[in-house]
């Protein structure tokens, strides 16, 4: 469960996110969309506790991120757009390290199916330098999912993945949601969001433009037209800005 | 075409200068520049006044010593150049290369530019660095002694030396590439070249040794003798003919006046022109090697920016076993220790190495005593003991002061992963402690070795009655227990600076970014030293006070033990505050604000 109330993020005199409120319940997948510079990454980073919010409250799985960050972070996983790995830890050692940080007992049993699912078994003993970008992305995902988080944040999760991996990733996101995870997904790939998300939140210059189920948001910007897709909704909502 | 390449180089240089000047508006660069300018002014531009004698009025002996010093420097440089060239022939690169940046490769290699034009571009590019280095060297070596000409002449002299070397090395690489392309006789040519270089080196060494054999001890002491030593050596046969190429290259630098300088420049420029013709007429293929070299240099630069030493050789790093088995449960700090030890090239820090190291320490400690006891019969024992103590003291001081700059496998190295670290469910102080454990362990190990060896080497004759075996063991235990805390404090300082001023810190880590970067590194170095002194003062004062006041009552051993307990408590308290503060600051600081 993610509860965000009046979230504001300022960088000096510039406000990246202004008074943002929304919630994501277990089983829901929220798509965070907006033009470049809308505040998507700032929002995700605040939600994951990577950067502090300037104002507002964020509750992750019932824990206030500001006052009880350790408990809140224990429940979440954050996947940044750029895979960041430790240069001298092999794939298997990354999993062992993360297991210790999150206190995951019997992590080897959990890691095995993850590595198989992400096709990393053959690369288990190599360093990140020998992995392709897609493989690195998969390793980051494996590390993030090892502690079975109930709240997951994805920032452009499909970057660098091959078509098969994209399909698997989409399946994985939906499976996690069906398993009760609350997921927030930021992406410019609107067809992905249409396919995967139950809800959508559109940001523009740090302000919330629309929020609700895809059908509700579509209805809000359809002008009475039937079958308006998310791309059209996005263009109308953001005043024609490119993604 | 060369015009376009010259335009690219000059515009890049102009934009770089404008950019550097523009960023002086930021205090971190302005202060860095001011400090660096002050440093260069006092270190390079101000000639040291020797024993109160103004530079202009130095005795001939001093000037002669300067000439000998510079001659030795030049001989050393020539020897290194010869070794480098011999090495190029002995072990040529698989793909000989010219030095281009990745951007230059991306834009110029696919461009409609002839190979010769690319060579010209490369030579032209090198000239900018060579000119700058020449000026710097003229100022730097001018401090060591007057070799005759003014600074402008010396700068031109260095330009001739460096340009000739650069051309010769490039020509050698291109020749090797050409010979490899032809395939036949490649090994034979290389063997002949190496044999020629070796024979040449032997002949030079033999000639110099013959001349040195004829020098009387009085020649070195007298001013006239010292003055004439270098010219005498250079004029002696057959050395003068053997070193003719080097004499020609270094001639302008050593020329005394304008006339001599002009005369020396004629053969030097001719030699330079010959080298230029050699390089520019090459038809060798260098593209593939240049691409590989550019990638390697980029990787090395990235490694340095991460705070690591660039890997030696071209082999890619391989995954290694962890330094110890990491269980999934337990304090998370251990996971950071495990991770950071792994990234410190765990092959050097695995259990086997540590055991071997400990075994060596034990052997040295036990073996040192009989050795010193043997020397104790002679009056040299004291000197040897002090030598060992001094050596260990120097190593320990360097470990404490320079060690934290080398062992960066802590929060500083992990700043690039801060986005991930900040999502971990760990309190800030625990994360800070975990990150600092690995470098603390490594530095402590070095300190322990120094402490054990130096305490056993102290007073080998056993004349100091107070230095009983009990006192020695007590000192080892006390210093040994304080060592990890001292190391931890020394590591806390740069990590605290990093989380306090991340933008300044990141700027200081970028490589080769100008005079302001040099100034910032100076500031950080001095700050590290001063803060280290500051945190050590309370503990040192307390220890001194306790030992001085209590040794009369309880004796040396209990006084040292009590003092060390207080020192440990003070250092532990300081370290705890430092770790808590770093953790708190790391939790609070905004990554996006500091990029």
**Residues in A touching B420 (Cβ below 8 Å):** 78, 80, 84
Nearest CB to B425 within list A12, A70, A84:
A70
Which tokens is B115 given? 């190979």
* B193, pLDDT greater than 70: yes
**B283 shares its domain with B364:** no
**Residues in A touching B419 (Cβ below 8 Å):** 45, 50, 78, 80, 84
The three-class DSSP label of residue B29 is helix
* DSSP code for A234: H
* B58, pLDDT greater than 50: no
**B258 shares its domain with B394:** no
The nearest CA of chain A is from the CA of B147 a distance in Å of: 50
**B222 shares its domain with B364:** no
SS3 content of chain B, % helix, strand, coil (to 5): 80, 0, 20
Report the pLDDT averaged over residues B148-171.
87
Mark yes or no for CB contact B425/A71 under 8 Å. Answer: yes
CA–centroid distance for B406 within its chain: 11
Mark yes or no for CB contact A51/B427 under 8 Å. Answer: no
**Residues in B touching A68 (Cβ below 8 Å):** none
Report the pLDDT averaged over residues B438-457.
91
User: b/e string for B257-290 if b means 16 or more Cβ within 10 A?
Assistant: eeebbeebbebbbebbeebbebbbebebbbeebb
Specify if B547 maps to a domain.
yes
Mark yes or no for CB contact B334/A100 under 8 Å. Answer: yes
Give the pLDDT confidence score for residue B165 in this predicted structure.
92
Q: How far apart are CA B360 and CA B72, in angstroms?
A: 38
Chain A residue with the nearest C-alpha to that of B338: A97
CATH hierarchy code of domain A1-75+184-243: 3.40.50.300
**Residues in B touching A48 (Cβ below 8 Å):** 422-423
**B171 shares its domain with B270:** yes
The three-class DSSP label of residue A10 is strand
Nearest CB to A48 within list B319, B329, B423:
B423
- Reported as a single tens digit per residue, the pLDDT across B514-569 is 777 788 878 888 887 888 788 888 888 998 998 888 888 888 778 888 888 898 99
Q: How many domains are there within chain B?
A: 2
Nearest CB to A51 within list B327, B345, B591:
B591
* B308, pLDDT greater than 70: no
pTM of the complete model? 0.66
**Residues in B touching A60 (Cβ below 8 Å):** none
Mark yes or no for CB contact A126/B416 under 8 Å. Answer: no
Report the pLDDT averaged over residues A3-8.
94
Mark yes or no for CB contact B593/A103 under 8 Å. Answer: no
- B587 and A CB contact within 8 Å: yes
Mark yes or no for CB contact A45/B338 under 8 Å. Answer: no
B460 neighbors B375 (Cβ within 8 angstroms): yes
**B276 shares its domain with B372:** no
Give the pLDDT confidence score for residue A187 in this predicted structure.
87
**B446 shares its domain with B565:** yes
**Residues in B touching A43 (Cβ below 8 Å):** none
* A177, pLDDT greater than 80: yes
Specify if B148 maps to a domain.
yes
Specify if B70 maps to a domain.
yes
Q: Which pLDDT band, with edges at 50, 70 and 90, does B594 fall under? A: very low
Q: How far apart are CA A199 and CA B511, in angstroms?
A: 47
Q: Quote the Cα angle for B506-B511-B514, to 5°.
A: 100
A21-35, B131-145, B166-180, B306-320, range with the lowest pLDDT? B306-320
Run of H or E including B380: none
Specify if B7 maps to a domain.
no
**Residues in B touching A80 (Cβ below 8 Å):** 419-420
Mark yes or no for CB contact A86/B417 under 8 Å. Answer: yes
**B249 shares its domain with B345:** no
- Reported as a single tens digit per residue, the pLDDT across B248-262 is 888 888 887 888 888
**B298 shares its domain with B365:** no
* B172, pLDDT greater than 80: yes
Parse chain A into domains and list their residue ranges.
Answer: 1-75+184-243
The three-class DSSP label of residue B55 is helix
Run of H or E including A207: strand A207-213
Report the pLDDT averaged over residues B268-286.
87
Report the pLDDT averaged over residues A1-24.
91
B126-140, B281-295, B410-424, B488-502, range with the lowest pLDDT? B281-295
The three-class DSSP label of residue A33 is strand
Give the pLDDT confidence score for residue A28 in this predicted structure.
94
**B299 shares its domain with B338:** no
* DSSP code for A5: E
B547 neighbors B564 (Cβ within 8 angstroms): no
Q: How far apart are CA B97 and CA B421, in angstroms?
A: 41
- B311 and A CB contact within 8 Å: no
More confident residue, A65 or B72: A65
Query: ipTM, 2 decimals?
Result: 0.72
Report the pLDDT averaged over residues B88-93.
80
Q: How far apart are CA A203 and CA A46, in angstroms?
A: 15
Nearest CB to A127 within list B319, B422, B426:
B319
Cβ contacts of residue A72 below 8 Å, gap of 6+? A49, A58, A59, A60, A61, A63, A64, A65, B425
**B342 shares its domain with B283:** no
- The residue behind tokens 């053969």 is B267
Q: Quote the Cα angle for A116-A119-A122, to 5°.
A: 90
Nearest Cα to Cα of residue B427 among B572, B584, B590 = B584
State the average pLDDT for chain A: 87
Last residue of a domain, one of B282, B303, B324: B303
Chain A residues in contact with chain B using a Cβ-Cβ cutoff of 8 Å: 11-12, 42, 45, 48-52, 69-74, 76-78, 80, 84-90, 93, 96-97, 99-107, 125-127, 129-130
**Residues in A touching B335 (Cβ below 8 Å):** 97, 100-101
Task: Count the alpha carbons within 13 Å of B244 in the hemisphere toward its beta carbon.
Answer: 6
Q: How far apart are CA B513 and CA B507, in angstroms?
A: 9
Which domain covers residue B254, as residue numbers?
61-303
Pick the most confident of A68-77, B323-332, B392-401: A68-77
Give the CA radius of gyration of chain A: 18
Which is it for strands A199-204 and A29-33: parallel, antiparallel or unpaired? parallel
Chain B residue with the nearest C-alpha to that of A81: B419
- Reported as a single tens digit per residue, the pLDDT across A64-123 is 998 888 899 899 999 888 888 887 788 888 888 888 888 888 888 888 888 888 888 888
- Reported as a single tens digit per residue, the pLDDT across A26-62 is 999 999 999 988 899 889 989 988 888 889 999 999 9
């Amino acid at each position: 469960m993610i509860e965000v109330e009046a979230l504001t993020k300022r960088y000096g005199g510039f406000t990246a996110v202004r008074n943002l409120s929304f919630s994501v319940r277990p089983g829901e997948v929220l798509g965070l969309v907006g033009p470049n510079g809308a505040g998507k990454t700032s929002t995700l980073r605040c939600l994951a506790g990577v950067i502090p919010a300037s104002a507002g409250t964020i509750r992750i799985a019932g824990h206030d991120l500001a006052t009880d960050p350790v408990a809140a972070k224990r429940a979440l996983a954050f996947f940044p757009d750029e895979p960041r790995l430790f240069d001298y830890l092999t794939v298997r050692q990354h999993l062992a390290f993360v297991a210790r940080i999150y206190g995951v007992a019997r992590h080897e049993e959990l890691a095995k199916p993850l590595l198989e699912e992400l096709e990393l078994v053959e690369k288990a003993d190599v360093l990140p330098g020998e992995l392709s970008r897609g493989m690195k992305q998969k390793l980051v995902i494996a590390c993030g999912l090892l502690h079975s988080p109930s709240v997951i944040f994805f920032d452009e999760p499909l970057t660098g993945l091959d078509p098969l991996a994209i399909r698997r990733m989409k399946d994985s996101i939906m499976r996690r949601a069906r398993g009760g995870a609350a997921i927030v997904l930021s992406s410019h790939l609107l067809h992905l969001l249409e396919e995967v998300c139950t809800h959508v939140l559109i940001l523009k210059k740090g302000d919330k433009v629309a929020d609700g189920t895809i059908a509700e948001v579509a209805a809000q910007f359809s002008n009475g037209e039937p079958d308006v897709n998310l791309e059209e909704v996005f263009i109308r909502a953001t005043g024609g800005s490119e993604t | 075409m060369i015009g376009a390449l010259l335009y690219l180089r000059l515009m890049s240089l102009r934009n770089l200068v404008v950019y550097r000047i523009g960023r002086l508006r930021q205090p971190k660069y302005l202060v860095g520049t001011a400090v660096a300018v002050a440093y260069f002014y006092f270190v390079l531009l101000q000639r040291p006044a020797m024993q109160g004698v103004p530079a202009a009025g130095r005795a001939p002996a001093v000037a002669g010593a300067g000439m000998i010093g510079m001659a030795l420097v030049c001989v050393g440089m020539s020897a290194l150049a010869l070794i480098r060239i011999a090495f190029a022939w002995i072990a040529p690169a698989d793909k000989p290369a010219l030095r281009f940046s990745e951007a230059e490769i991306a834009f110029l290699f696919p461009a409609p530019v002839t190979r010769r034009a690319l060579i010209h571009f490369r030579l032209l590019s090198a000239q900018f660095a060579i000119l700058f280095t020449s000026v710097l060297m003229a100022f730097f070596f001018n401090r060591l002694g007057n070799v005759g000409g003014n600074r402008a002449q010396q700068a031109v002299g260095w330009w001739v030396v460096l340009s000739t070397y650069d051309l010769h090395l490039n020509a050698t690489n291109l020749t090797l590439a050409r010979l490899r392309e032809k395939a036949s006789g490649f090994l034979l040519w290389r063997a002949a070249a190496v044999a020629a270089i070796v024979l040449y080196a032997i002949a030079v060494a033999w000639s110099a040794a013959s001349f040195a054999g004829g020098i009387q001890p009085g020649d070195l002491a007298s001013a006239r003798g010292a003055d004439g030593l270098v010219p005498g050596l250079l004029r002696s046969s057959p050395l003068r003919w053997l070193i003719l190429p080097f004499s020609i290259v270094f001639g302008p630098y050593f020329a005394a006046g304008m006339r001599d300088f002009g005369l020396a420049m004629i053969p030097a420029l001719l030699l330079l022109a010959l080298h230029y013709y050699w390089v520019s007429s090459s038809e060798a293929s260098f593209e593939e090697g240049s691409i590989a070299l550019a990638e390697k240099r980029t990787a090395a630069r990235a490694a340095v920016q991460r705070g690591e030493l660039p890997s030696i050789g071209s082999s890619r790093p391989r995954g290694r076993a962890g330094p110890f088995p990491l269980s999934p449960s337990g304090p998370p700090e251990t996971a950071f220790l495990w991770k950071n030890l792994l990234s410190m090239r765990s092959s050097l820090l695995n259990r086997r190495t540590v055991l071997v190291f400990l075994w060596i320490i034990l052997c040295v400690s036990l073996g040192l005593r009989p050795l010193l006891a043997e020397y104790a019969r002679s009056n040299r024992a004291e000197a040897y003991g002090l030598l060992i103590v001094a050596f260990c003291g120097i190593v320990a001081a360097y470990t404490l002061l320079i060690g934290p700059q080398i062992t960066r496998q802590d929060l500083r190295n992990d700043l690039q992963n801060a986005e991930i670290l900040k999502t971990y469910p760990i309190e800030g102080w625990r994360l800070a402690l975990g990150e600092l454990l690995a470098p603390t362990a490594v530095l402590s190990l070095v300190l322990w070795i120094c402490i054990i060896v130096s305490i056993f080497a102290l007073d080998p004759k056993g004349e100091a009655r107070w230095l009983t075996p009990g006192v020695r063991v007590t000192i080892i235990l006390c210093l040994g227990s304080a060592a990890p805390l001292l190391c931890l404090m020394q590591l806390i300082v740069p990590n605290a600076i990093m989380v306090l001023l991340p933008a300044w810190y990141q700027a200081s880590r970028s490589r080769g970014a100008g005079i302001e970067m040099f100034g910032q590194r100076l500031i950080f170095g001095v700050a590290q030293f001063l803060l280290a002194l500051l945190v050590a003062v309370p503990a040192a004062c307390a220890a001194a006070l306790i030992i001085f006041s209590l040794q009369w009552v309880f004796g040396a051993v209990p006084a040292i033990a009590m003092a060390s307990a207080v020192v440990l408590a003070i250092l532990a308290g300081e370290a705890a505050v430092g770790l808590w503060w770093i953790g708190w600051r790391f939790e609070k600081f905004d990554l996006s604000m500091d990029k």
